Structure 1
Amino acid sequence: MSEASLSVIIPAYRAERTIARAVASAFASGADEVIVVDDGSDDSTGEAARDAGAVCVRQENGGASRARVNGSRRAKGTYLVFLDSDDELVPAGVRRSVGVLAGDPALAVAAGTVIGTSDGVRRRRFPVRYRPVTTRTLLQRGFGPWPPAAQVVRADAFRASQEIDPAPLHPRFADDYEALIRLSMVGGVDVRDDPTCVYSMAGGKSVRNARAAFVAKEAVRAHYAQHLDIGITPMTEAEISAGAHARLARAHSHSGEWVGCALEWVKCAAANPVGGFGKVVSRVRRQIGWT
């Protein structure tokens, strides 16, 4: 494998229908190796991954965070991409991210923007959500600005991020948020307005378990904010409930399920009448072009 090589690691659970497409996008993006970590699937995920040309390793079901760490230990590349099994990479964007990292040894992460899709046909490009991306802004903003596949990570930095204090939580939800926080603690994070991945907007675990995802994310925030003595404003219970309903509403919207979308926005407003109503108004304004 060449000195500046790329390894793509794909945690996969019951992904037999999507894994081949994810693997193909990794190879198209210049991956020298693709490692699929089968997280205890009871379907043919592993077989489909091997048929697509990936190396497949199997672990007992332990979640995506542990699968990523497991895969990173086997990876030989200088740079890593952590790709979810229902997402795809944008080859040109990934190659540019590799170039950014190669040009600045102080960077741990080079990221781009996201193209969202719910049906594989309709696509929406999302802009950079905030800059700069630092440990402080990640904790104070309270959310990660992109999914794992939008970034290329320096392999040495990722491994270093797993060894520093405090110990990683490896949560079932918000695991990608924790990973980016830890990476920001060992190196710089670069972000540019350039698509690097196609992200599946519907059906993910953070949508199916929206409230649990918010609760986990807040636990991650509190854990690192306390350790690093960074002041944050925790979400209230009302804000968590409203945020969960807003996430479900957006998922229904991306799938064209307008009745479900409307019902979730009503629940969002009811859960947090001030903030929730503001989310509804903002969403309607975007839908009809009043922005």
Structure 2
Amino acid sequence: MIDVSIIIPTYNRVQFLGPAVDSALAQGDGIEVIVVDDGSTDGTAALLARYGDRIRVVRQANRGPSAARNLGAEQARGDHLFFLDSDDLIEPGAISPLLAAAEALESVQVPFGRASIIDEAGRPSTGVAYGYPHLEPGHRLSLADLLTGVMPLCLPLLQRERFLAAGGLDPDLRLGEDHELAIRLHDAGLRFVATGIPVIRVRVHGKPRLSGGDDRAFARQLLRVWQRVSGLVRDRPDFDRRAREALSRVIWVAGRDAARAEDREAAEALFGLARELDPRIERISPWPLRLASNMLGPFRAERFASVLKRLRLV
């Protein structure tokens, strides 16, 4: 009997893929490991062949991580899905307690664990926190919680049927696709519940984490995902002031990222969306940047700040 299908999408990650697969196989009985090769051109096929029938391999032409994960979910035989990026590692023995947590919760509740950071060599490292590490076990995420942070797909244990019923991940999104899915699942009545279980080690390295990602499309992807999320939540009864301010804040930060990527159209659209949600959003910026934004507009202010930083004047 298969309880959990561990799905690993991969694209030209042969240097990290083996340890990822090994960490999945080490989870014990009741699991299957499905690797979706998203059109790799390196030694991925040869590496996967060494595992024989210990894993299932599905191949497709390069269509991006969302399409690869969706294909893995369609092929899965487990009642639950756990998604593992091919450069990360599942913590030893993580799946069993996560499954026990799922079985103890109501059917509309989704347990999620915690992540730690490792460097390229697999050593413990520091970095941006993933998920919601500050929440106590048992905390059920509100819409404002979801909008304040990001629910990475590597943390929850999802029911396969509910994932498929929600339509899976949007294959057109190569950035923020997991966050957009989490909002849709919340909209469908599911509630994410913190467990405190260490489930994943996220590897930070110099290579892009996106399958087939194009850095030039970064700003447009930011705009697309936040327009989509904004459209999903605007009419929800729980889109209260806290949720509105949280969404405005993350969209404003996305606008700053788009400005740094020198995409004026995307940046100004994001700044405008953030202001629409919260007209006082600029208060989150340091006062010199607020002053420059009032004089020059937020896009020019961010570009000016970037120049000063390059010159090491700020």
Relative to the length of structure 2, the TM-score reads 0.67
Alignment partners' CA distance in 2, 1:272 and 1:179 = 35
Which residue of the partner structure matches residue 144 of structure 1? Answer: 150
Alignment partners' CA distance in 2, 1:169 and 1:16 = 23
Structure 1 residues 217 and 135, CA gap change in structure 2 (3 angstroms):
farther
Alignment partners' CA distance in 1, 2:98 and 2:304 = 39
Q: How many residues align?
A: 245
Is the Cα contact below 8 Å between 1:108 and 1:157 reproduced in 2? no
Q: Deviation at 1:209?
A: 6.5
Which residue of the partner structure matches residue 133 of structure 1? Answer: 141
SS state of the match for residue 197, structure 2?
strand
Structure 1 residues 88 and 61, CA gap change in structure 2 (3 angstroms):
same
SS state of the match for residue 87, structure 2?
coil
Matched, 1:190 2:193: yes
SS state of the match for residue 235, structure 1?
helix
Structure 1 residues 241 and 68, CA gap change in structure 2 (3 angstroms):
same
Structure 1 residues 68 and 238, CA gap change in structure 2 (3 angstroms):
closer
Is the Cα contact below 8 Å between 2:5 and 2:80 reproduced in 1? yes
Give a deviation string over 1:89-109, Cα, whole Å, max 9, x none.
Answer: 013333221111111233453
Alignment partners' CA distance in 1, 2:303 and 2:231 = 28
Identify unmatched segments of 5+ residues in structure 2. 262-300, 310-314
1:204 to 201, 208, 212: 208
1:9 to 7, 10, 19: 7
Matched, 1:235 2:252: yes
Structure 1 residues 107 and 160, CA gap change in structure 2 (3 angstroms):
same
Q: Deviation at 1:184?
A: 2.4
Is the Cα contact below 8 Å between 1:239 and 1:271 reproduced in 2? no
Aligned-residue Cα RMSD (Å) equals: 3.3
SS state of the match for residue 14, structure 2?
coil
Alignment partners' CA distance in 2, 1:215 and 1:81 = 29
Which residue of the partner structure matches residue 225 of structure 1? Answer: 230
Identify unmatched segments of 5+ residues in structure 1. 245-268, 278-291
Which residue of the partner structure matches residue 285 of structure 2? Answer: none
Alignment partners' CA distance in 2, 1:7 and 1:128 = 25
Relative to the length of structure 1, the TM-score reads 0.71
Q: 1:1-291 counterparts in 2 under 5 A?
A: 1-2=1-2, 5-30=3-28, 32-52=31-51, 53-119=54-120, 120-124=122-126, 126=129, 128=133, 132-138=140-146, 140-141=147-148, 143-145=149-151, 147-162=152-167, 168=170, 170-186=172-188, 187-202=190-205, 203-205=207-209, 212-213=217-218, 215-229=220-234, 230=239, 231=244, 232-233=247-248, 234-235=251-252, 239-241=256-258, 271=303
Alignment partners' CA distance in 2, 1:101 and 1:7 = 14
Structure 1 residues 8 and 50, CA gap change in structure 2 (3 angstroms):
farther
Q: Deviation at 1:272?
A: 8.1
Is the Cα contact below 8 Å between 1:241 and 1:271 reproduced in 2? no
Q: Deviation at 1:237?
A: 6.8
Is the Cα contact below 8 Å between 2:117 and 2:202 reproduced in 1? yes
Range with greater deviation from structure 2 (114-123 or 79-88): 114-123
Alignment partners' CA distance in 2, 1:182 and 1:238 = 23
SS state of the match for residue 123, structure 2?
coil
Q: Deviation at 1:213?
A: 4.6
Alignment partners' CA distance in 2, 1:204 and 1:84 = 12
Is the Cα contact below 8 Å between 1:162 and 1:182 reproduced in 2? no
Q: Deviation at 1:173?
A: 1.7
Q: Deviation at 1:129?
A: 5.1
Over 6 Å off, 4+ runs: 208-211
- Larger-gyration structure (1/2): 2
